[in-house]
């Protein structure tokens, strides 16, 4: 209700600030008897972990997750799962200088306007550090969904540079620091992002997340639609400014006759001849791949000076000298996957509740 | 929970099918002592009402709303408000022919896959007729927000034809059948849409909704963000495939230095020098205009034949002969405004709950 | 959230005032393909209907329910079910006289204190007339639960007169105007209540509701316990002041050794040797009968004058001359049954969601 | 939803098992700028802490709470508050012997029936150890309510022995190990409970919790009534079997004329001449003291052997040799106070949301 919970039946609630002692979450509604151990979660946290290459922030966090409850002898018990990650590399002093400043593009001003107080150290609660808990909860979501459903994400645009979709190769994504499915573009991005980084600037990105194996029938019309919940999930990730399902924005320019995904029978099953719908019609899954894209704005923390004001109403210039990602979109890939997993796990249980 | 409610504190729950006896909703959480009468709601329903010109469906519905509870002597009492609209022009026989067919692009197949049953008459519950209740609830949302907040929507793209933003004139929107803020483009669209209609096809659109006067501080991070709730609200409208806040998708191509909305003081108040954020940072309103855009796919009901299958697994061709909108995006304008009002009214009360 | 909805997955939202044009509710989360028609609901409304004998209010309401959505060709479709009952016998003028008075024991003062406005006609929203919608929703709850679960209620105490539990005969309950399972006591009550009625006073009662056939395993610890939800459901019924599960209040006086429900095996199944637990342990059903009791205070509307004040702060005497029940507890029997059905249907679906 | 969260706007979610590494909770919806530190919470945990005298379990737990987030420089920030208590005295081996047994009166069987798995160590999640988090969250609830609202609990009945209400002295409650407000009865209970303890048996109790200073107007009819929420809150506490508001069960035996709380004016304010309503009418607070009582069954863990079965369907005898409370009702006093605080804090914010 007050904003720190996500989901309805499969539901997690997170807490923790960028520079507090720890971050964590409680994951509720997990079916019993699912095998779950820390490595099941850790593998996804490791994908999101900072400091792995020169293209992400140099903050050193092992992000080691501990399961504190809800699992007994290697299996979920159906009770709430407490997860905890200790913060290790808090350089709070880095932030003393900007204590009273409102950094442009950040939530500094809005938190202050809303609450009349803010933890300025690294963005406090508004820090993207919170996304570690999304990834952890999403890992549990994947266990609920089981092996029949595969969720993968990729960076499909960095700054103005889009991948060539004809060259899409899922196997390429772990081979480059960008989760780029187009090997050629990945190389190009390397030079491009080095340039951005050295100029003290940052750049935006577009991420695509695809879920295969989702059966038809998941999603609760009219206000719990699968696409509406995915839109909320993705738009809620730090720095996201747009969400598309299937053809997305381009659907506006199509005619009905171009846009319609025609159907035929194949081996006794319905087969769609295209997927402009992105696997969702009327808010309910069609059985096709669920396809979601979201745009991440450029990192707001940049070395270049920008005009701002402070808490005292004084006009200032802000330059961010801390450790930051030149393209936060990269680390948003595992976060987007996790949110897809969280939404689908919830809808799997919601569908089972009503329809058996 | 099962999908027919929207909002948390300001919350409405709708019911009704396209060809049932009536549609309605219950609006809960409305503050007491707000003056409210049927015309307050009717004026917005009239904007959405079908059959007003040749560019919308010819179904004749007066959409006359009745307030059945929650208002006493012209004022809200704080108890639940029951609203009801009787369906008048149900030609259910029109649908006998497509009883067993899955119309491409419609929710026919997914409802059937989910529930094992569907009311095929005019799409049943999945019909855009339900959006009348969104408009009605949104009208009450506006009353909660008061006169200080102005919500307006406009069609900014029809098919491939975008408006010229330099020519934006809010006063133009009621003067053409498209809610187009660019008078010149409105004329162009007229010819374009006539062509689309005559060809038996349909076309998509992009709608922009702007809320002025929202104070800074509304929105509940981390999972009840104002932008996430708006994304869910808009993506949940029938036929919507993409949602953008502020710079939206284009933010991906910007650098951090281009994207940052710089701040200065003006008359003792903070002033932003641009609004790429669309009035929201960290999920909380900045005090600037809230700017949301969403893309509507082309109407799925078209005269042109499309390949499909039926409930018996037989391959068929589907042609829709009923009364339909060549561009449903047009009637989505008042619906988008209503969803903006519903989200803002809810967040106004949520903010007041926590922050006084 | 704002109080007009009950349940989580099986969830209904009600609206309407005692003297408005109609009352109604929306029932959401109903599984599809359940056969449902108006008589399924009407039979339970008829049990609660006023004016059936001299021991209930003489207000004449047929309480004819209409299903306006969510059912197609005799079966539920999984979408929201709109129900409506028109008010027929509104004598609002009866209430002009008490327009500004706060009737002792009623919600007049508290509604006014909370909302600053109240619909004084027959108690407005606070009227027990709203319980018709509980009964209607409960009837749908029973359909979800199916024939394997039987829910029955009985009046076990009227004023100071308790039934003899040794004489309990479920078949007796429909044979007397009190739903009394003890035929002898029913006769005694007749004289007793006639006396109360003639004296212009009223009297309280205790109702017991029993659900047979509930399988072990329903209920969500720690805060969605089956007994906690039943307590909320029953305490929320108008005029209820106490709720007990199983041994209830008497459990306080027992020793652990007396209270423990021992277990043995019978025909390969667990059998409990007593049911002090009332069928619930740790918030989860044991498979035994679910036993709930609740106490209803005496009707607050009485002919005898009582001291009070009015909205202007003037000291007054209040005498209620309208049509009222000398023992509202009687009509609370079908309401208690309905709330049991609503809670169980919700927990059936909640259990299925998490545990399959 | 899946049961580990309590409240709506002021909402906490707990996790942890009796013999896991730690227990904790996340408290959400707390208004910003409230001064909060660990001692504010610790003082209430200390009241509930085991091992303080011979009448409570000898398990040694310091129950030291840590605030891990949501507080910055001594003040709440409006973001989620993470709380953690490490378990110190886990003698899990004590429980090896009863690993497969279903202890009568405990949740062993029902958890196993529901989930197909259970953490048998000290009751796992069903342990009353979880109530520490209720107390912690309740302490924060008190801070939200402020000094104007005083919440106090007392044991008013132990086994068959009730206090003499004429001797009620709030100052006496901290002076005896039972929170008994009747000094004479406290002495009598000492001997009584020693006898119970030595016999290897246990005994039930009744607790009364009173909140002073609650203004009129809190509570959300029809399904979020203050009394319904209190009933849920108290019934959900481990071992509770009955909840009463005001006159409670005795209201059933009263006449309307006896039960009515008459009103008069005093110093320009409404004054009630009695409080049978327990401070709540129509689900909304009247401004009088809120009075709730609840009955706790005798501790199910007793030395005396009881008939049971095990997970293999074998008939067994169960004797509990662990460390246990002869009367768990004693430690339920601070838990009841905490639940009162949690419900009131939530309703304070809910009221503010809708009514400003």
Q: Which of B9, B32, B221 sits opposite D353 (nearest CB)?
A: B9
Going by their DSSP bridges, the two strands D150-158 and D81-86 should be labelled as: unpaired
Q: Residues D258-295: pLDDT tens digits?
A: 999 999 999 999 999 999 999 999 999 999 999 999 99
Q: What is the DSSP letter of A70?
A: S
Range in A165-169, A315-319, B23-27, B239-243 the model is least confident about:
A315-319
| pLDDT at C91 > cutoff 80 | no
DSSP helix/strand/coil, A148: coil
Helix (H) or strand (E) holding B259: helix B256-259
Query: In the prediction, which pLDDT does A96 show?
Result: 79
Tell me if D296 sits within 8 A of D239, measured CB to CB.
yes
Mean pLDDT of C305-320: 94
Average pLDDT, chain A: 95
Task: Give the chain C residue nearest B31 (alpha carbons).
Answer: C115
The larger pLDDT score, comparing residue D351 to residue D92, is at D351
Give the whole-number percent of chain D exceeding pLDDT 70: 98
D43 burial via Cβ count (<10 Å: 0-12, 13-18, 19+): exposed
Q: What b/e readout covers A153-167, taking b as 16+ CB neighbours within 10 angstroms?
A: bbbbbbbebebeeee
DSSP helix/strand/coil, D280: strand
Q: Which tokens hold the place of D143?
A: 């801070």
Rg, C-alpha atoms of chain B: 21
Spatial distance between the Cα atoms of D108 and D106, rounded to a whole number of angstroms: 5
Q: Which tokens hold the place of D14?
A: 């707990």
B-C contacts at Cβ under 8 angstroms: 160
Token pair 């029973």 is at which residue? C142
**ipTM for the assembly:** 0.97
B15–C114 C-beta distance less than 8 A: no
Going by their DSSP bridges, the two strands D269-272 and D263-266 should be labelled as: antiparallel
Mean pLDDT of C134-143: 98
DSSP assignment of B122-186: GGGGGSGGGHHHHHHHHHHHHHHH-TT-EEEEEEEEETTEE--GGG--GGGGGGSTT--S-HHHH
Mean pLDDT of B302-308: 93
Query: In the prediction, which pLDDT does D293 show?
Result: 98
Residue C228, min C-alpha distance to chain A (Å): 17
Give CA angle at B255 (B249, B259), nearest 5°.
65
CB-based contact, D117 to chain C, within 8 Å: no
DSSP assignment of C129-143: GGHHHHHHHHHHHHH
Residue A9, min C-alpha distance to chain D (Å): 6
Q: Which of D262, D284, D329 sits opposite C110 (nearest CB)?
A: D284
Any idea how long chain C is? 356
Any idea how long chain D is? 356
Tell me if A332 sits within 8 A of A178, measured CB to CB.
no
Among B320, B348, B336, B245, residue whose Cα is nearest residue B95? B320
Among C215, C102, C206, residue whose Cα is nearest residue C159? C206
Spatial distance between the Cα atoms of A273 and A281, rounded to a whole number of angstroms: 15
Q: What is the DSSP letter of B238?
A: T
Q: Which of B228, B270, B282 sits opposite A107 (nearest CB)?
A: B282
**CA atoms within 13 A of residue A182's CA, in its CB half-sphere:** 18
Q: Which of A1, A203, A264 sits opposite B8 (nearest CB)?
A: A1
Mean pLDDT of B274-295: 98
Residue A62, min C-alpha distance to chain B (Å): 23
C-interface mutation test, from B29, B34, B82, B127, most C Cβ less than 10 A away: B82
Mean pLDDT of D245-268: 96
Mean pLDDT of D221-236: 98
Q: Which residues of chain A have pLDDT under 50?
A: none
Query: In the prediction, which pLDDT does B54 show?
Result: 78
Spatial distance between the Cα atoms of A6 and B232, rounded to a whole number of angstroms: 13
Going by their DSSP bridges, the two strands A269-272 and D161-162 should be labelled as: unpaired
Q: Residues A328-337: pLDDT tens digits?
A: 999 999 999 9
Spatial distance between the Cα atoms of B321 and B58, rounded to a whole number of angstroms: 12
Query: In the prediction, which pLDDT does B111 show?
Result: 97
Tell me if A323 sits within 8 A of A193, measured CB to CB.
no
Residue D288, min C-alpha distance to chain C (Å): 11
Token pair 């106090």 is at which residue? D152
Token pair 């808990």 is at which residue? A133
Q: Residues B57-74: pLDDT tens digits?
A: 777 788 999 999 999 999
Among A181, A190, A176, A230, residue whose Cα is nearest residue A347? A230
Q: Which of D104, D235, D259 sits opposite C263 (nearest CB)?
A: D104
| pLDDT at C318 > cutoff 70 | yes
Q: What b/e readout covers D108-134, taking b as 16+ CB neighbours within 10 angstroms?
A: bbbbbbbbebbbbbbbbbbbbbbbbbb
Q: What are phi and psi of A304, to 5 degrees?
A: -70, 140
Task: Give the chain A residue nearest C11 (alpha carbons).
Answer: A354
C9–B2 C-beta distance less than 8 A: yes
D356–B354 C-beta distance less than 8 A: no
Give the whole-number percent of chain D exceeding pLDDT 90: 88
Rounded to 10 degrees, the C-alpha dihedral A246/A250/A255/A261 comes to -10
B316 burial via Cβ count (<10 Å: 0-12, 13-18, 19+): middle
DSSP assignment of C292-338: EEEEEPPPS--SS-EEEEBTTS-EEEE---S---S-TTTTHHHHHHH
Spatial distance between the Cα atoms of C139 and C151, rounded to a whole number of angstroms: 11
Give the confidence band of B1 by pLDDT, cuts at 50, 70, 90: low
CB-based contact, B147 to chain A, within 8 Å: no
Residue C70, min C-alpha distance to chain A (Å): 13
Spatial distance between the Cα atoms of B271 and B281, rounded to a whole number of angstroms: 14
A226-235 helix and A329-355 helix, angle to the nearest 10 degrees: 150
Tell me if B90 sits within 8 A of C7, measured CB to CB.
no
Q: What is the DSSP letter of B310?
A: B
Average pLDDT, chain C: 95
Among C29, C3, C41, residue whose Cα is nearest residue C338? C41
Going by their DSSP bridges, the two strands D161-162 and D150-158 should be labelled as: antiparallel
The larger pLDDT score, comparing residue A56 to residue C122, is at C122
Spatial distance between the Cα atoms of D342 and D44, rounded to a whole number of angstroms: 13
DSSP helix/strand/coil, A268: coil
| pLDDT at B323 > cutoff 70 | no
DSSP helix/strand/coil, C276: coil
Q: Residues C147-200: pLDDT tens digits?
A: 999 999 999 999 999 999 999 999 999 999 999 999 999 999 999 999 999 999
Spatial distance between the Cα atoms of A351 and B4, rounded to a whole number of angstroms: 14
Mean pLDDT of B322-336: 90
Among A227, A88, A207, A67, residue whose Cα is nearest residue A136? A67
Query: In the prediction, which pLDDT does A92 show?
Result: 64
Which residues on B lie below 8 Å from A230 (Cβ)? Answer: 235
Tell me if D308 sits within 8 A of D317, measured CB to CB.
yes
Spatial distance between the Cα atoms of A145 and A150, rounded to a whole number of angstroms: 9
B137 burial via Cβ count (<10 Å: 0-12, 13-18, 19+): buried
Q: What is the DSSP letter of A186?
A: H
Spatial distance between the Cα atoms of C8 and A161, rounded to a whole number of angstroms: 46
Which residues are B309's β-sheet partners?
B315
How many CB atoms sit inside 10 A of residue D329's CB? 31
Tell me if D305 sits within 8 A of D107, measured CB to CB.
no
Tell me if B227 sits within 8 A of A110, measured CB to CB.
no
Interface subset of B 15-34, CB within 8 angstroms of C: 15-17, 20-26, 28-30, 32-33
Which residues are B254's β-sheet partners?
none
Residue B232, min C-alpha distance to chain C (Å): 19
Q: What is the reported pTM?
A: 0.97
The larger pLDDT score, comparing residue D129 to residue D322, is at D129
| pLDDT at D92 > cutoff 80 | no
């Amino acid at each position: 209700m007050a904003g720190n919970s996500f989901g309805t039946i499969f539901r997690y609630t997170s807490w923790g600030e960028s520079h507090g002692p720890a971050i964590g979450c409680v994951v509720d509604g997990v079916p019993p008897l699912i095998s779950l151990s820390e490595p099941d979660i850790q593998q996804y946290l490791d994908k999101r972990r900072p400091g792995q290459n020169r293209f992400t922030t140099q903050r050193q966090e092992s992000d080691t997750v501990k399961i504190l409850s809800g699992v007994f002898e290697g299996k979920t018990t159906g009770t709430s799962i407490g997860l905890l990650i200790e913060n290790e590399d808090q350089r709070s002093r880095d932030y003393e200088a900007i204590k009273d400043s409102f950094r442009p593009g950040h939530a500094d001003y809005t938190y202050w306007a809303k609450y009349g107080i803010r933890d300025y150290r690294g963005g406090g609660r508004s820090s993207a550090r919170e996304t570690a808990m999304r990834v952890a909860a999403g890992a549990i979501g994947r266990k609920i969904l089981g092996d029949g459903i595969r969720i993968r994400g990729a960076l499909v645009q960095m700054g103005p540079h889009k991948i060539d979709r004809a060259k899409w190769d899922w196997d390429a994504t772990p081979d480059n620091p960008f989760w780029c499915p187009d090997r050629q573009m990945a190389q190009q991005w390397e030079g491009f992002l080095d340039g951005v980084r050295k100029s003290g600037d940052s750049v935006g990105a577009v991420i695509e997340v695809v879920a295969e194996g989702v059966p038809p029938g998941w999603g609760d019309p009219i206000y719990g639609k699968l696409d509406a919940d995915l839109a909320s999930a993705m738009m809620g990730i730090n720095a996201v400014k747009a969400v598309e399902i299937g053809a997305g924005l381009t659907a506006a320019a199509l005619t009905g006759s171009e846009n319609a995904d025609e159907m035929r029978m194949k081996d006794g099953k319905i087969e769609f001849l295209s997927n402009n719908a992105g696997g969702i019609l009327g808010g309910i899954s069609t059985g096709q791949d669920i396809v979601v894209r979201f745009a991440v704005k450029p990192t707001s923390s940049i070395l270049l000076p920008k005009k701002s004001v402070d808490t005292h109403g004084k006009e200032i210039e802000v330059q961010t000298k801390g450790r930051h990602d030149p393209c936060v979109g990269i680390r948003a890939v595992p976060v987007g996957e996790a949110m897809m997993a969280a939404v689908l796990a919830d809808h799997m249980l919601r569908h089972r509740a009503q329809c058996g």
